[in-house]
Structure 1
Amino acid sequence: MSDLFFYGTLRHVPLLEAVLGRSSSELSLTPAILRGHFVSAVQGQDFPMIQQADDEQALGLFVQGLTQADLDRLAYYEGGFDYDLRPLAVTLEDGTWAQAQVFFPEPTAWVADGTWSLDGWVERLGDVTALAAEEEMSYLGRVAPSDMARSMPAIQTRAWAKLFARQRRTGDARDVSKDVIVHRHHRAHVNYFAMEEIDLQHRQYDGTMGPTLNRSALLQGSAVIVLPYDPVRDTVLLIEQFRAPVYLIDDPEPWMWEPVAGMIDPGETPEQAAHREGMEEAGIAFDALHSAGGGYSSSGSSTEYVYLYVGLGDLTDPAITAGLTTEGEDIRSRVLPFDMFIAMVDRGEFKDLPLLTLAHWLARHRDRLRG
């Protein structure tokens, strides 16, 4: 058995439960202080780091009786973040002290950047981090920590999308807790995307439970798709980039003309992501966003939900090439008069379905936007 002191995100009990894979009711949790240390924010990151500092103290959580299995799970979770354990004495809430293991970062791994607040972090990212940890920990023993670290941004994006999805109600009276029975749920693959398999039954329209079905899904986060439109000049902007899935299906033209698009990062609203992607992919600052609806892009195979917008802006001097080199993006843009754009839509010159959806929405609302 081992005793650990947590000073950072693992003080958030739902996250600790997700990492350990068991309820906090099975654990001994006590508030504690590590004297001579200071918890600071990390530059460019959402988690904190700990440093030695005279006359300072780090608030934390003292957890007793952790098993070897618990330590293995913690090592897997923290392994992707360059942390090691050190033995130190901590002061408990009754004034006594105890020996505890403490996670410390590698000396050159991070750069301190001011004070870190647990309450502020929980409000912004507590739920999504705990949900992401559930997916991450399901790969323990199958995916190396270093490989999992590369997948974490995508896992967090999927977790953020799940939180959005849980609020997506339209009035359907059916209850999945009663009308769906899951027999097996297997996370088969993880990388930028994930593939999950499930064996389930669902209630049929005659009231009975149907046969057990085996289904697979491509797990993705939510995305925003924005068609830039200049109502003064009556022009639209399209971007073109290479798309590997189009190449993989043997399409001889894998360079696709599309609207501006991108994934919604954890902590972002769809509108914030739309403005960010406008700058990253086309160098456009939108004056206004008009919602064109939203929906699942391919509900039979993918979890991706897309939020559709027409973004109004000045298209007199758009970026010719753009994109983030860190994401391997090589993007060029093109401005088209609206009449030419719609004629190309009607001739079937575009293969991107969201682009076609937004083209038809703009055709119906163009006069209002110009007015």
Structure 2
Amino acid sequence: MTAGVDAPDRRGRTGLHLHGRDLTGNPDVRVRDVEVLACDWYVLRKTTFDFRHRDGHWSRESRETYDRGDGATILLYDPERGTVLLTRQFRLPAYVNGHPDGLLLETAAGLLDGDAPEAAIRREAEEETGRTVGAVQHVFDVFMSPGSVTERLHFYAAPYSAVPGGDPSPASAGVAAEGEDITVVELAFAEALAMTRTGAIADAKTILLLQWAALDGPFSPGSAPSAPSAPSASEAGRS
């Protein structure tokens, strides 16, 4: 008996080796075998397939794919004050791959966990920033690392408002039971965009949303004005 195949893994799943075997959308790809390499929480598979090249010959290929489910992310922005609301949290993969401290500035995000993308991002935004999200705008859907990770990320944006007479956001947020320790950071949009150029913001989903906001979104030419009194980076770090 193999966990995740013919016996439940710790999330109660079986049949994980069947994923992808019935694909028929591309006649130049024939899936031959799917092997589950790991399913401790997410799923690592090795898929063997035949691939027909443009010159007509077939080759036998194998690829490993990491399946963590699909996710969603959202840019929270205040067009009147010219600010965005981001999070800062520790990311071990970035830390072990050369990031100085592993603390990344990011847009709020999370896995769908069976919810529709919009419902999921409302949940994640509230958990990670303490904000209840109103009307949201769907921006685009992106495969973030299609060479090895199956995840499709759904991108959203929504306005938020300053808290009258109080801090713009809680000092920390996240679900403690899930090991989350998140600092909420409010930045001037222009400052956040500049940080994508210097590497101070190095998270792909955040860079995509900030660039969208500058080109086609709330901070694009002719859109909402930016306020001159937006907080500085030092002030943002204390929020």
Partners of 2:145 and 2:162 lie apart in 1 by: 31
Partners of 2:78 and 2:160 within 8 A in 1: yes
Instruction: Find the structure with the greater CA-based Rg.
Output: 1
**Larger RCO (alpha carbons 8 Å, 6+ apart):** 2
Residue 190 (structure 1) aligned to one of 32, 36, 39: 39
Q: Aligned pair in 2 of structure 1 residues 333, 212: CA closer, same or farther (>3 Å)?
A: same
Residue in 2 that maps onto 1:64 = none
Normalising to structure 2: TM-score of the pair?
0.80
Residue in 1 that maps onto 2:111 = 263
Residue in 2 that maps onto 1:295 = 142
- Root-mean-square deviation (CA), in Å? 2.5
Partners of 1:285 and 1:337 lie apart in 2 by: 21
The one-letter amino acid paired with 2:69 is G
Partners of 1:288 and 1:313 within 8 A in 2: no
Residue in 2 that maps onto 1:334 = 185
Deviations 1:222-268, CA, capped at 9 Å, x for gaps: 000111111221110110111121123243321111100000021x2
SS of structure 1 residue aligned to 2:120? helix
Q: Aligned pair in 2 of structure 1 residues 273, 369: CA closer, same or farther (>3 Å)?
A: farther
Q: Determine whether 1:175 maps to 2:175.
A: no
Moved over 3 A (4+): none
Residue 306 (structure 1) aligned to one of 153, 159, 174: 153
SS of structure 2 residue aligned to 1:285? coil
Bigger share in strand: 1
SS of structure 1 residue aligned to 2:194? helix
Residue in 2 that maps onto 1:98 = none
Q: Aligned pair in 2 of structure 1 residues 369, 276: CA closer, same or farther (>3 Å)?
A: farther
Aligned-residue offset at 1:217: 0.8
Gaps of 5+ in 1: 1-72, 77-134, 167-173
Residue in 2 that maps onto 1:221 = 69
Partners of 1:303 and 1:190 lie apart in 2 by: 15
Gaps of 5+ in 2: 226-239
Partners of 1:348 and 1:251 lie apart in 2 by: 10
The count of residues paired between Structure 1 and Structure 2 equals 212
SS of structure 2 residue aligned to 1:335? strand
Provide the identity percentage. 27
Bigger share in helix: 1
Normalising to structure 1: TM-score of the pair?
0.53
Partners of 1:328 and 1:264 lie apart in 2 by: 18
Partners of 2:192 and 2:201 within 8 A in 1: no
